[in-house]
A and B are shown apart, each in its own frame.
Chain A
Amino acid sequence: MPAVQDTIDRVRKIDVDQYKYGFQTEIAMDKAPKGLSEDIIRFISAKKDEPSWMLEWRLGAYRRWVTLDEPKWARVHYPKIDFQDLHYYAAPKSTPGPTSLSDVDPELLRVYEKLGIPLKEQEILAGVQKTDVSEFEEASDNVYKSGRVAVDAVFDSVSVVTTFKKELAQAGVIFCSISEAIREHPELVKKYLGSVVPTSDNFYATLNSAVFTDGSFVFVPKGVRCPMELSTYFRMNEKNTGQFERTLIIAEEGAYVSYLEGCTAPQRDENQLHAAVVELIALDDAEIKYSTVQNWYPGDAEGKGGIYNFVTKRGDCRGDRSKISWTQVETGSAITWKYPSCILRGDDSSGEFYSIAVSNGYQQVDSGTKMIHLGKNTSSRIISKGIAAGFSQNTYRGQVSAHRKATNARNFTNCDSLLIGDQCGAHTVPYMEAKNATAQFEHEATTSKISEDQKFYVMQRGIPEEEAIALIVNGFVKDVIQQLPMEFAVEAQKLIGISLEGSVG
């Protein structure tokens, strides 16, 4: 029947168009057997050639984890995850630890090429093409005008390559995979790993502590401004494999670093688990800017497949006058459970959270932040923009608290939600806890739909409906987009447009 065929074609078209990163790659893989046990953890640790203290740390976390239950408070629903039915380690076979690009499997390089991630330094050096939009837009305050970005590429469980290491080393910056850091810089790892997100923190963070396989490590020493953007690109390829990366970023006194993270995964009917932990530490006068564009596979139009994304990200403004800023654009994953937070421990420290969360299809997002004010004169700012379309559920959940000693704590929160269609939901759950009389908190939230008047106006200028909506939505999220480094900003805008395709009925 033609009508049925038409439907099938359409659905197929939506899938392919909407998730252009949905290809799979056939690469010989080295995998751990399915399941989780102390033996598997020993296997992972041995594969990574880790010192014994690291193994003990992992085993401690594992023993804790088996006593924990999955958290239930988030507004997400999914079938019970069988943690014994997953592989906890998968690595491309050709990598006993590549030292240069020539060691990397060419097939793997092609993957990154397809994803548009430049791993060859000479290509990057040639410069990123300027987009035409940027020419007449006001110059952003982005310090990295050159468009040079150092990349750490993580494929399933291992880091395959890190670029610009030499140049960074000259500045004193360490940028490498966490596995390498455990081997090469054990004193730094020992000192900081788990100091922001302890192994006992929560179900997923504890699991991650036991089984994390790779991730990035950044150390910017005292007084150094990192000379370029650092970036990690995560790719989840193997079937039935959990990805558990661990990222640790330390900015010493007066240091500055801007770090970007991007993620994609192939299209699969099964759900894949991703449970990462990111720890940021900023000492006196240091600043860390952490940006994420998360585009894990969200599942198909019927809600089948997609990534379960349970992530613990936390920054510790440990030093006075330190600053941590989170910016995230979340368009992917079937389930997102993620609350990048700031502990404002140092006096005069500040935290920021800028977020765009777009959900379509059957995606479920429960995301937000925590700003914990402990020090004096600390300030925080939260700007969250949620866009729900299709049959999705989009929740902002955020906590702001000022403790007894947090004199003059300041917070400003603004969370706006936009609904597209009448089958989706937008929810706002802010927690505000003030225990200091000099604290000043301000919170605003709104929920509305795209105004018909605005849409009509834009369409009257000849812009088709879907584009008109994308344009208005991009206006709605502008405050957050502006926080992203230029290259990411353009990409993020496109991504939002793609994510909302098919949302107009």
Chain B
Amino acid sequence: MLEIKNLHARIVDDGTEIIRGLNLTVRAGEVAAIMGPNGSGKSTLSYILAGREDYEVTEGDILYNGESILEMDPAERATSGIFLAFQYPMEIPGVATMEFLKVAMNEQRKARGEEPLKIPEFLKRVKDAAASLNMDMAMLKRPLNVGFSGGEKKRAEILQMKLLEPKLCVLDETDSGLDIDALKIVADGVNALRSPDRAIVVITHYQRLLQYIVPDTVHVLYRGQVIKSGDKSLALDLEANGYAGVIGQAA
């Protein structure tokens, strides 16, 4: 489903190279965890997948369902099924969360050639999804992410992910700022989305989240490259022994 080939990318503003020859393949139905120490390029990778203009791909390619996405803008990538759950979701004053969800869901439908959702159906879907995440509907009447706590923001991200039904989900440090109860709810939400035609990429610094979202594969990112791949035991190994060992082996 996702194939990253020898990817090199740098920050447009100052030319700093962050991703240096990264290779990664994620199949449909797979949950892949990307781990790595701070500054290894994890968040940058998520931004590049979503098409952020602050980064420039200088070499290599990203194939999604066999086709390059490099020329697509963020909205096109999103309607083709790529979803990024942000580490720091943006606050957008004045924009009602419900209104935003409706517009976003209908954009997905438009891309698939479907009619816009009828209001009752839309409301039902949002209510069901919110209930499954233990979210209060009152929260959704507020402006998008404005005044949400860290945990509320993360839950709202997963809510959006559920509603937009993406094919490739990228979760950037979704566990940060969550207490254990919230973490379980979020993980349940993600697990419920596991399906044979969907891939999930979980970016995390710690093994903590992976106790609840058990990955099929684990990849260690260091200095903009995947230096080691393995199954879920690799995560446990990292937790026990730290990154130093793996980095040492690679060097």
Contact = CB atoms under 8 A, between A and B. Distances in A.
Chain A, interface residues (CB within 8 Å), range:
20 to 34
A227 to B, nearest CB: 30
Contact of B78 (A138, A454, A462, A471): A462
Contacts of A456: 50, 52-53, 74, 90
B84 interface: yes
Contacts of A465: 73, 75
Interface string B180-198: 0000000000000000000
A234 to B, nearest CB: 29
A351 B19 CA distance: 57
Given A461-B104, A461-B164, A471-B103, A476 B75 contact: no
Contact of A462 (B54, B93, B107): B107
B237 interface: no
Contacts of B50: 456, 460
A457 B103 contact: no
Interface string B100-112: 1001100110010
Interface residues of B, number: 36
A108 B54 CA distance: 54
Interface stretch (A111-119, A129-137, A422-430): A129-137
Given A136-B123, A461-B107, A463-B103, A474 B164 contact: no
Interface string B50-64: 111110000000000
Given A138-B141, A464-B75, A477-B94, A457 B104 contact: no
Contacts, number: 91
Interface string A292-331: 0000000000000000000000000000000000000000
Contact of A472 (B89, B92, B98): B92
Contact of A137 (B51, B96, B103): B96
Contacts of B103: 463, 467, 471
Contacts of B79: 462
A452 B73 CA distance: 14
A476 B92 CA distance: 9
B86 interface: yes
Contacts of B52: 456
Interface in B33-87: 50-54, 73-75, 77-79, 83-84, 86
A463 B86 contact: no
Contacts of A460: 50-51, 74-75, 77-78, 83-84, 86
Nearest to B80: A462
B95 A471 contact: yes
A136 B111 CA distance: 25
Contacts of B244: none
A461 B123 CA distance: 18
A479 interface: yes
A479 B94 contact: yes
Interface of A: 132-133, 135-138, 451-454, 456-465, 467-468, 471-472, 474-479
9 contacts: A135-B119, A136-B123, A461-B78, A462-B79, A471-B95, A475-B93, A475-B143, A475-B144, A478-B94
